[in-house]
């Protein structure tokens, strides 16, 4: 089965603290994974994809095939990072999303 | 602006009614996806069209249907509406059916009263 699991509905941290949003996936084959972000009252937008191995807004994510994980990390959270974060897997024909994690960064 | 346009932005209707949500994909994109976002369910894939043909189906109720027209815009029809259908409905488009980034519209917020 193709599935994405984000175990945390809400993650609250203080500004400057490290952040790790967890994502685990189930997929037979070579997965293509993404992180999407949705700021308040805005549309979903792509944050990063594992293929690019890039760092966007200080966020990075590494694909760990052994642990079937694609956790999103940032060493020092900022207040403007507060948003809903979705991990997504490119399945056979569609994007499969996790249920999302709301990140709250307090001043 | 992602280039994906959804109308209307907000919709309030009564139970039992039928509504149509519209999505115009980015220029050149052939694939359209519909997603439902509710508080307790997160983002649920409903259906995908590619160049006018249904490509993939997710957790879409029988009361819901969709189509993609020759000009590639898509409509999601929701009928016999129930209170639980209240949600944000997102449309996304991508160039091809697979292996390309999806761009999302701002969504239509449907409230069923």
Strands (E), B52-86: 53-57, 64-68, 74-78
How far is the C-alpha of A3 from the C-alpha of B86, rounded, in Å?
24
In this prediction, residue A95 carries a pLDDT of 80
Q: Which is higher by pLDDT, B65 or B39?
A: B65
pLDDT at B13 over 90: yes
Instruction: Tell me the pLDDT tens digit for each residue of B55-96.
Output: 888 889 999 999 999 999 999 999 999 999 999 999 999 887
Mean pLDDT within B10-23: 97
| Nearest residue to A25 via CA among A33, A14, A17 | A33
Q: Which of B59, B43, B97, B100 is nearest to A34 (CA)?
A: B100
Residue B35, beta-bridge partner list: B45, B90
Contact at CB, A44 and B92, closer than 8 angstroms: yes
Q: What is the pLDDT of residue B11?
A: 96
Confidence of residue B40 (pLDDT cuts 50, 70, 90): low
The reported pLDDT for the residue numbered A13 is 96
Q: Among all residues of chain A, which has the CA nearest to that of B38?
A: A99
CA-CA-CA-CA torsion for A45, A49, A53, A55, nearest 10 degrees? 20
**pLDDT score of B47 more than 80:** yes
How many angstroms separate the CA atoms of B51 and B30, rounded?
5
Ranges of chain A whose pLDDT falls below 70: 93
Give contacts of B43 with chain A, Cβ < 8 Å. 44, 86, 97-100
pLDDT band at B97 (very low <50, low <70, confident <90, very high): low
Confidence at residue B104, expressed as pLDDT on a 0 to 100 scale: 92
Residue B108 pLDDT level (bands cut at 50, 70, 90): very high
Name every residue whose Cβ is closer than 8 Å to that of residue B87 and which is 6 or more positions away in sequence. B36, B37, B38, B109, B110
Residue B39: its pLDDT value, please?
Answer: 72
Query: Residue A22: its pLDDT value, please?
Result: 97
3-state secondary structure of A74: strand
User: How many angstroms away from the CA of B42 is the closest CA of chain A?
Assistant: 4
**Is residue B51 a contact partner of residue B28, using CB atoms and an 8 Å limit?**
no
> Cβ contact (<8 Å) for B43 and A42?
no
Q: Model confidence at B99, in pLDDT bands (50, 70, 90)? A: low
Reply yes or no on whether the pLDDT at B10 is more than 80.
yes
CA-based radius of gyration for chain A = 13
Q: What DSSP string describes B82-101?
A: -GGG-EEEEEEEESSSSSS-
């Amino acid at each position: 089965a193709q599935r994405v699991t984000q175990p945390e509905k809400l993650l609250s941290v203080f500004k400057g603290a490290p952040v790790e949003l967890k994502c685990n996936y189930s997929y037979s084959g070579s997965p293509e994974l993404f992180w999407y972000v949705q700021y308040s009252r805005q549309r979903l937008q792509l944050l990063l994809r594992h293929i690019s191995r890039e760092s966007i807004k200080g966020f990075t994510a590494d694909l760990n095939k052994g642990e079937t994980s694609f956790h999103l990390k940032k060493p020092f959270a900022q207040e403007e990072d507060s948003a809903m974060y979705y991990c997504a897997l490119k399945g056979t024909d569609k994007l499969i999303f996790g249920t999302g994690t709301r990140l709250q960064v307090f001043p | 602006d992602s280039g994906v346009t959804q109308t209307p932005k907000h919709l309030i209707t009564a139970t039992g009614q039928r509504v149509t949500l519209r999505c115009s994909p980015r220029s050149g994109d052939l694939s359209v996806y519909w997603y439902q976002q509710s508080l307790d369910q997160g983002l649920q894939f409903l259906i995908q069209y590619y160049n006018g043909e249904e490509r993939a189906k997710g957790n879409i109720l029988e009361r819901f249907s969709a189509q993609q027209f020759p000009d590639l815009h898509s409509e999601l029809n929701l009928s016999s509406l129930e209170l639980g259908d209240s949600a944000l409905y997102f449309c996304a488009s991508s160039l091809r059916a697979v292996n390309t980034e999806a761009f999302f519209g701002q969504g239509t917020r449907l409230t069923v009263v």
